[in-house]
Chain A
Amino acid sequence: MILQTKALTLRHKNRHLFSERDLQLMPGQILSIWSEEISDANLWLHAFAQGEKEQGQIFLAGETYHGLSKAKGRALLLSQEDNLAQLLTIWENLALPLEYHNILPTKQIKTELHKIAEERQITDCLFHFPQELTDNQRQQVVLARALLMKPKLLLLESHLPSDMIEQLEHFCKIQQSAIIIVREKPPSQADACAILYRENPDNRGDA
């Protein structure tokens, strides 16, 4: 099992969220969330990624955490904006999480980074800053980082480019990780699991 919550209540910016909720996500599973107000669903996703446990338990890939933000890169949030740190070069953006969370040894980081940069055709822009890249190049960098970090859980905001979502879903199947994604339209039956999310995320018992 990738993600399991037991009687979980999260706190984010002094608000209660996810009140005493049980949730299970299996490898390769995609959980869609949707709201009439798309910003509410995105807010919920951010709160889920960055909130702290008030009570209950969160298990991610067999380990228990105080919140997903403490999961040492095992849970990765991708939003429409703010994916790349603008004051860091592309190389630093790619290498920093690997070093910080001790995902790969230093020597291996260099090799893996060059390999993925060639695959994604971003070798020429490794020492540039994000604002110097085209939208497509930035997207490739975000994908490259997701591939390097190999997160167990991907949290995807709405408005991400559809081809990027497709590639991430493909990656999820290969890596046997799981995805929670905010949909702009009500989720179809094709999704492995769907939660229709109707209430305001500020309220208790939202999902």
Chain B
Amino acid sequence: MNSLWRFLERIGQKIRHGYTFIADLFGLIFIAYSASWRAFAPGRRKVFWRMFRRQIVNTGIRALWINAILAIAIGAALLSQVHALAGKATFHEIYADLFILVVVRELGPLISGIILITRAGASVTAEIAHAQLLNDFRSLRNLGINPVTLYLAPVFFAFPLSLLAMFVYFNLLSILSAYAMIWYQDADVAFIPFVVGILDRFTTVELAVTSLKGWIGGGLIGLVAIHYGAQVKQRFTEVSHALSAALTMQLALFFIFNVLLSILAYRV
């Protein structure tokens, strides 16, 4: 009876934690939006923009090389093999269908999301956790500065924008590297029909779903990073717990969100 009671108690706790977590995320969205309105005041705007640019550089630009390596590898190694499998007559159609299906819809967003989580999400969690640990938020409040303008709002807007930019690099570099590899094998394959074939299949639905994956997925990664960083109270060991919890949750939520959106958009 006791063990049953404990089991039920654990289930109750999990449900409560889940509910608190979701409520926290919505609270953070509300705080970020209201702070972004206040950030338009003359002095704050400069501070907000500086922090926003810093996040864009850290997430979208410094992560460019790893994104490029993976995109080139996928384009060159995987998609160039389509040329060997498909006949010359149907090559453009098959390649374009496969590119949209594999790279644009699934691999591009997933790999870009993983890069954002591991590279920028982890650093934001660590930064917020240390700011909590070192009482930086209290120091800022003593100066009449709202820490949300400095730490939360720039992340909330920079992460989605960076993720969208990463999707674009990834797709572009995959196309170019695949073409380079195919051209190396068969110089008769022309570049323009190759690219036009892909662009023809890039419909409004693809654009809408990719944008949603970038905006909502990027925002989700940023909010989860901030949420777990802010959970740190007084002990240094809490930083590593926050980091691992944030990474796990970001990966789980981002994958689930991507898969659900793909099913809703392309299967239903």
User: A residues touching B (Cβ–Cβ < 8 Å)?
Assistant: 49-50, 69-73, 75-79, 81-88, 96-97, 99-103, 106
Interface size on B, residues (CB 8 A): 21
Q: How far is the CA of A78 from the CA of B142 in the complex (A)?
A: 7
Contacts of B142 in A (CB 8 A): 49, 76-79, 82-83
Given A87-B127, A87-B130, A87-B134, residue A99 in contact with residue B43 (CB < 8 A): yes
- From B43, B44, B139, contact of A84 by CB (8 A): B139
- From A70, A85, A99, A101, contact of B139 by CB (8 A): A85
B42 engages A96 (CB within 8 Å) = no
* B84 touches A (CB below 8 Å): no
- Distance between A195 CB and nearest chain B CB, rounded to angstroms: 22
B43 engages A85 (CB within 8 Å) = no
A99 engages B135 (CB within 8 Å) = no
Q: Which residue of B lies closest to A76 (CB)?
A: B143
- Distance between B149 CB and nearest chain A CB, rounded to angstroms: 8
Q: Which residue of A lies closest to B135 (CB)?
A: A82
- Distance between B141 CB and nearest chain A CB, rounded to angstroms: 6
* B145 touches A (CB below 8 Å): yes
Q: How far is the CA of A27 from the CA of B255 in the complex (A)?
A: 61
* B131 touches A (CB below 8 Å): yes
- From A70, A82, A87, A99, contact of B138 by CB (8 A): A82
Q: How far is the CA of A97 from the CA of B143 in the complex (A)?
A: 7
- From B41, B47, B127, contact of A96 by CB (8 A): B47
Pairs across A and B, CB under 8 Å, 18 listed: A69-B144, A70-B144, A76-B144, A77-B142, A78-B142, A83-B139, A83-B142, A85-B131, A85-B136, A86-B139, A88-B136, A96-B145, A97-B143, A99-B47, A100-B43, A100-B144, A101-B43, A102-B43
Q: How far is the CA of A125 from the CA of B180 in the complex (A)?
A: 51
Q: How far is the CA of A75 from the CA of B47 in the complex (A)?
A: 20
A100 engages B44 (CB within 8 Å) = yes
A85 engages B141 (CB within 8 Å) = no
Q: Would you call the interface of chain B mostly helix, strand, loop, or mixed?
A: helix
Q: How far is the CA of A87 from the CA of B138 in the complex (A)?
A: 13
Q: How far is the CA of A71 from the CA of B42 in the complex (A)?
A: 16
Q: How far is the CA of A155 from the CA of B231 in the complex (A)?
A: 30
Interface centre among A75, A76, A99, A103 (most CB of B within 10 A): A99
Contacts of A100 in B (CB 8 A): 43-44, 47, 143-145, 149
* B140 touches A (CB below 8 Å): yes
Q: Which residue of A lies closest to B42 (CB)?
A: A102
Q: Which residue of A lies closest to B128 (CB)?
A: A87
Contacts of A86 in B (CB 8 A): 130-131, 134-136, 139
- Distance between A132 CB and nearest chain B CB, rounded to angstroms: 13
Contacts of B145 in A (CB 8 A): 96-97, 100
Q: How far is the CA of A87 from the CA of B139 in the complex (A)?
A: 11
* B46 touches A (CB below 8 Å): yes
Interface centre among B130, B131, B138, B142 (most CB of A within 10 A): B142
Q: How far is the CA of A72 from the CA of B146 in the complex (A)?
A: 11
- Distance between B147 CB and nearest chain A CB, rounded to angstroms: 9
- From B41, B138, B141, B143, contact of A73 by CB (8 A): B143
Contacts of A99 in B (CB 8 A): 43, 46-47
B144 engages A72 (CB within 8 Å) = yes
Q: How far is the CA of A79 from the CA of B142 in the complex (A)?
A: 9
B136 engages A87 (CB within 8 Å) = yes
Listed from nearest, the 4 A-B pairs whose CB atoms lie closest are A102-B43, A86-B134, A77-B142, A85-B136
B144 engages A97 (CB within 8 Å) = yes
Contacts of B135 in A (CB 8 A): 81-82, 86
Q: How far is the CA of A189 from the CA of B144 in the complex (A)?
A: 32
Q: Which residue of B lies closest to A101 (CB)?
A: B43
Q: How far is the CA of A78 from the CA of B136 in the complex (A)?
A: 14
- From B41, B42, B141, B149, contact of A50 by CB (8 A): B141
